[in-house]
Every structure is written in C-alpha cells, then in structure tokens.
Amino acid sequence: MTNLVFVFLTGITCFSNVVVAANNTDEINSLLEGRYELVYWTENKIRFDYPEVAGVLILNDNNALITLNKNIIKNESVEVIGWGKYEINNNSFQIGWHDWKLLLIKNNNKAVKKDSPWQGMRKYKVLLKDQKLVLTSVSGLQSWELDRKSLVYTDKEWGEDKDEVIRYWKRIN
C-alpha cells in the first residue's frame, strides 16, 4: 500500500511538472512572439531616435524578420533586411538569419553584403521571472529582455567596431 501511494504521488508530481513546463512554454511564447517597432538605439552611450534609426522586428511561429535603417552619420546609411528562424523552449532559445542583406551607402556609393552577422544559430539561455523573459547568449555578450510592452536588446560587441549597442523596441502586437 505504501508503495502504491508513493507511485501515485510521484505520478502526480511528474504530471504537475509537465503542466508547469507547458504553462511556462505558453508564457515564454506569449512574451517573445509579436511585432516590434524600434523606438531608439544607443551606441557607445549615445542615443539615436527616429528618423536617425528605424526598424521592425517580427517573431512568429519560429520565423523571424528584421528591418533596420541607421542614418547617424551624414552622407552614410546602413539598411538591413533579414529573414531567419528561431527555436525556443523552457531552457534555450536560438536564432539564425538564413537570408541577410545589408546595404551600405556612403557618399552615394552602394555596397551590398549578404553574409549573416553570424553563422548558424546563436544560442541563448532562457529565464522567465516576474512576467519578464530574459534571453542571455552563451557568450554573455548579447541579451534580450522582454515583457508585455517592450523588448530591450543589448549587444556588448556589435558590428565590426565591437560597439556596445542597446536597441529599445516597442511591442505593436
């Protein structure tokens, strides 16, 4: 009888852990997925607002789309459009850009780069705490902090110059 009670209680505990994990997955997805609009961008602690910077990020059903437009230097523009994939669960998040186009315009000279900013999928650890989703890259250099209203992306070594960049995105839906 004692063994039967133990097996029953163990089964209930395991089932409740599965339910909690499923609920966490739903919460994680609801915090991650949506459409975001870039509000501002800081680079080396200097803040840039629209129209100097603009962008849209869409994350939905394991698909990702990003557009960025950066006009912070006179006669120079950087425009990005990327399509990618992501995967997320209770423990990990990974994202990669399989189709990436970066247009550099400097003094009316144009150059297009088609290389993704990194190869394959960038891996992140997942933390869900106090209705906030925090994704931290394995290297510790990149992070995403998401709540119901916003996404704050931080990269401590962004681009060729390895600048510290923070992008504040407003959730549109």
The tens digit of pLDDT for each residue in 64-110 reads: 999 999 999 999 999 999 999 999 999 999 999 999 999 999 999 99
Please write the tens of the pLDDT for every residue from 53-67. Answer: 999 999 999 999 999
Is 1 a residue whose pLDDT tops 60?
no
- C-beta separation of 72 from 43 below 8 A: yes
Q: What is the mean pLDDT of residues 155-162?
A: 86
Question: How far is the C-alpha of 36 from the C-alpha of 159, rounded, in Å?
Answer: 22
Kindly give, in sequence order, each residue whose CB lies less than 8 Å from that of residue 52, ignoring residues fewer than 6 positions away: 41, 70, 71, 72
pLDDT surpassing 80 at residue 10: no
Q: How many CB atoms lie within 10 A of CB 118?
A: 12
Torsions phi, psi of 120, nearest 5? 70, -150
DSSP secondary structure of 115-131: --SSSSPEEEEEEEETT
Q: What is the DSSP letter of 136?
A: E
DSSP 3-state of 146? strand
Residues 28, 133 contacting (CB under 8 angstroms) = yes
What residues contact residue 170 under an 8 Å CB cut-off, 6+ apart? 36, 37, 39, 149, 150
CA–CA separation, 86 and 123 (whole Å)? 10
Q: Which of 30, 78, 83 lies closest to 52 in space, CA to CA?
A: 78
Residue 145 forms beta bridges with which residues? Answer: 134, 152
Smallest CA-to-CA distance from 10 within 21, 24, 2, 25 is with: 2
Confidence class of residue 2 from pLDDT cuts 50, 70 and 90?
low
Q: Does 22 score more than 60 pLDDT?
A: no
The 10s digit of each residue's pLDDT in 94-103 is 999 999 999 9
